Chains A and B, each alone.
Chain A
């Protein structure tokens, strides 16, 4: 009996709360808020906050064209694999002290899963055989490599800081990090963690393909790159997974640096987390998106491997010396 009950609860996690439905609604809302804020910063009225939802449903009703030269299976499966990976990441990210699926090495799992949406997009794009997609996917590969190094350094820095405090090595469990913050306050207010937090915030636009790091999907020069041949429902799923990625990365930031603020009531904690996600979006992602122009791909690579990685490395060194 309890086996069935557990399975049902797990299914609920996957489909409803930190899983699919939550990702769908909150991701879309975040995306809408981001667009609205960017518009307001440019002195425009901006689209309604529900605009990404309208876009999604409209795309669902459009004809799906599969190019004749495309590999149909890969072409249609790629967006779904990417979205599924993002929903799984969301299950590992703690909301105050609640985690749907917890393990000893969450961070490593999250790190690998974060690659899957981009990789799926690359496979899907390669399957279309479009030259625009070819240019886009080579740029996307460089973007992934650029973002990966600072991300690993940030995770290591946070893991080491928490590990020092609780007297073990590097901590790779998000739940332990959340529990530590619940007792000792947010990691963001620790001097040694501030550079790492800034580095993480700067990787969010790169990972989600926002200005100025959107060389991979530059719609004005390479027809949106990897998405050039997609239309209809697969495109809708891609748009959804871009929105969910925004939620995943911001809520990961909240879990790593702003954790430990909560009441223990799941619903309220979820709302608090979402509120912080919105704050991060408004203060960082939208601000950078509205005020910058597109960087060339080599500039992007150089920027991430020097400035952002440097910031993360400073944090890691400070944490290593127990500051």
Chain B
């Protein structure tokens, strides 16, 4: 009865849990700035929660150091499904300037399914906001399909030409008429 309401609400109230995986604190400050009066992420329902059990979206910042890796993975496992994992900044995505360091185990996508990558060093608050909104949509999609690795169609994919966009059946019909 409430299934539709639940799916709709899932996209409207994503709660964030922030994990620092050896970050330089730059991204952490920018994540907090998203909640300030200027950007006010709470207007779309975002809320920073204190326990991973309450969270929907995990925001990971930092290059995933050897020390933090087991703890990060354990924390991510504690988030109830459906959950989204967002990496904030270039570090968890590629290692950034810490790449190939003896103490860095990243990128994070080697270990878990990452839903959204927010690039930048540090990303602008607008970029973080954009990434989080995308994550919220993916969250609703995950609840809808029940697939934990669901994705959205890529909005930045190159547009298909009119020829390509036509389904295969129509093309054959046209040929037949000609």
CA distance A230 to B53 in the complex (A): 6
Residues of chain B within 8 A of A63, CB atoms compared = 80-82
Q: Does A42 contact B (CB under 8 A)?
A: yes
- Whether the pair A223, B40 counts as a contact (CB closer than 8 A) is no
Interface bracket on A: 35 or more
Q: Digit string of B118-159 for contact with A (CB within 8 Å is 1, else 0)?
A: 000000000000000000000000010000000000000000
Q: For residues 203 through 252 of chain A, which have their beta carbon under 8 Å from a beta carbon of chain B? A: 218-220, 222-224, 227-232, 235
Chain B residues positioned under 8 Å from A64 (CB to CB): 80
Q: State A219–B50 Cα separation when bound (angstroms).
A: 5
Contacts known (A224-B49, A231-B53); A61 close to B9, Cβ less than 8 A = yes
Give the segment of A48-56, A109-117, A281-289 that binds chain B. Answer: A48-56
Q: Is B50's CB under 8 angstroms from A224's CB?
A: yes
Known: A47-B43, A61-B7, A235-B54. A42 touches B80 (CB 8 A): no
Report the interface size for chain B: residues with CB under 8 A from the other chain: 28
Q: Return B132 CB to nearest CB of chain A, in Å.
A: 15
- B10 to chain A: which residues have CB within 8 Å? 58, 61
Q: Is B37 an interface residue (CB 8 A)?
A: yes
Residues of A within 8 A of B80 (CB): 62-65, 231-232
Nearest CB in chain B: distance from A137 CB, A: 15
6 contacts between A and B (CB under 8 A): A62-B80, A65-B80, A218-B50, A223-B51, A229-B53, A235-B54
User: A residues bordering B, Cβ < 8 Å?
Assistant: 35, 39, 42-48, 51, 53-58, 60-65, 132, 218-220, 222-224, 227-232, 235
Q: Given A44-B42, A47-B44, A60-B2, 8 other A-B contacts at CB below 8 A? A: A45-B43, A58-B10, A60-B6, A63-B80, A224-B50, A228-B53, A230-B53, A235-B54
